Each structure stands twice: as C-alpha cells, then as structure tokens.
Amino acid sequence: MLTESSYLTAIYVYTGTALLALVYFAWCMRRRWRAGWLALVVLLGAAWLMTPAFPREGVDTMAPALIVAGFALFTDGFSAAEHALRPLAWTSGLAVAVALLLRFTLFRRRPEPAREAAP
C-alpha cells in the first residue's frame, strides 16, 4: 500500500512528466502548426492527462481520470467508467472553449496593410 509521502511523490512525478511532455510537444510543433491548433491540442492533452478521478467508491486517493476510465471501461464496462468519463468530458469541453477563445482573441490573423502601387 502507498504511504502518504509515496503517493504525493507519485503524483508529483506524474504531473511533472505530463507537463514536460506537453511543453516539449508544443516546442517541437510551434513552427509546423498554427498557434490556434497548437493551443487546442496542448489544452486537450492537459485536460486528458491532468484531470483527477477517484478509482472507485470509498477510496480517498485520486488517480488520472484517463487511466481510471480506461481500466474501468475495459474491465467492468461503460457504466463503471462513467464517474471518470464525466469529468474528462467537462475538462475537454473547457479546453476546446479556451482554445477557441484564444484563437479569436490572441491568435487571430492580423490584416496586412495595403501597399501603394509604385508609378
């Protein structure tokens, strides 16, 4: 069984690794993808990797909801995974909304100034 310090260490390692993976992905793709698409993918990745959920009833510790949903879905079916899929759906929707907001505010295309024709 996990002690409190080993549980916290595992959470810190998982969170740090997920953040590093997202930052590295964004850094590698910054020149290939437009900023709006990159924001959408990174925010969705953060939502899927960072959303917590309880593994089952009566448990005091939390785990990543994607892992909990995957195990519950493949072992006990969809009804057992609903408690983890619901927060994943909410955070995914929030990530899409924030990415759209960023796309239409900060990452919008600026119109090019009109050039005068040379005589």
The pTM of this model reads 0.81
State mean pLDDT over 24-53: 92
User: Percent of the chain having pLDDT more than 90?
Assistant: 51
Provide the b/e sequence for 36-48 (b: ≥16 CB within 10 Å): bebbbbbbebebb
Distance CA 61, CA 3 (A): 11
Helix/strand/coil for 108: coil
Query: Which one is predicted more confidently, 15 or 112?
Result: 15
pLDDT of residue 18: 93
User: Whose structure tokens read 């993976």?
Assistant: 21
Rg (CA), the chain: 20
pLDDT in tens, 102-118: 988 887 777 777 677 66
Please say if the pLDDT value at position 75 is more than 80.
Answer: yes
Distance of CA 15 to the CA centre of its chain: 11
